[in-house]
């Protein structure tokens, strides 16, 4: 609540400033994806992935004549050969189902953030969605760096103040040397 009171008193602070300041003091870890990661995500096309999966499936199925020819020559290791031929097809079907579920989750995410498709597109593309997030993340990262510098300055001032206080408490009192003793009485100038 003390931060809310401070925000009310200072008119130029926004909720963005407050949240980022709190997160920096607690974790100091950048809380959202990096802008370059979001830029790379915006360059993806789900259709390209689907085409690649279809191409891999077609290549793995290959020519049935070739499969039969291989099976005829390797009749001693038929179980191993069947596993070798079937495993990639199972992997591709798993990959295809994960790709379709990812696409479905992406569309649900765009609905949750109320992102609309551009004119002429039937659904929101990753480019549309992630380009908005890229802009936000870039702005947020600039602000994050500024806040981080100010927090580091505050911590440095606090450390210097603590060092100064410790130095004042632990200062040694050096008394001047008194002229008493054998050496001082024999050597007078």
Confidence of residue 7 (pLDDT cuts 50, 70, 90): very low
Task: Using alpha carbons, list the distances in angstroms from residue 8 to 5, 12, 16, 104.
Answer: 5, 9, 14, 42
Secondary structure tally for the chain: helices H, strands E: 8, 0
Q: For the whole model, what pTM was predicted?
A: 0.56
Task: Tell me the three-class secondary structure of 91-111, residue by residue.
Answer: HHHHHHHHHHHHHHHHHHHHH
Confidence of residue 161 (pLDDT cuts 50, 70, 90): very high
Note the pLDDT of residue 124: 87
Note the pLDDT of residue 10: 56
């Amino acid at each position: 609540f003390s931060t809310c009171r401070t925000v009310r008193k200072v008119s130029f602070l926004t909720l963005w400033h407050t949240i980022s300041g709190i997160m920096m003091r607690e974790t100091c870890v950048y809380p959202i994806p990096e802008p370059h990661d979001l830029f790379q995500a915006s360059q993806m096309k789900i259709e390209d992935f689907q085409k690649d999966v279809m191409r891999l499936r077609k290549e793995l199925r290959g020519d049935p004549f070739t499969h039969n020819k291989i099976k005829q020559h390797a009749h001693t290791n038929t179980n191993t050969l069947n596993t070798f031929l079937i495993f990639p097809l199972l992997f591709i079907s798993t990959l295809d189902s994960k790709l379709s579920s990812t696409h479905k989750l992406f569309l649900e995410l765009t609905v949750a953030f109320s992102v609309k498709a551009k004119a002429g597109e039937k659904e929101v593309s990753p480019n549309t969605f992630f380009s908005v997030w890229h802009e936000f993340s870039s702005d947020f990262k600039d602000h994050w760096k500024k806040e981080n510098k100010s927090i580091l300055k505050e911590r440095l001032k606090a450390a210097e103040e603590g060092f100064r206080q410790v130095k004042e408490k632990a200062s040694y009192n050096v008394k001047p040397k008194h002229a008493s003793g054998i050496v001082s009485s024999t050597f007078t100038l």
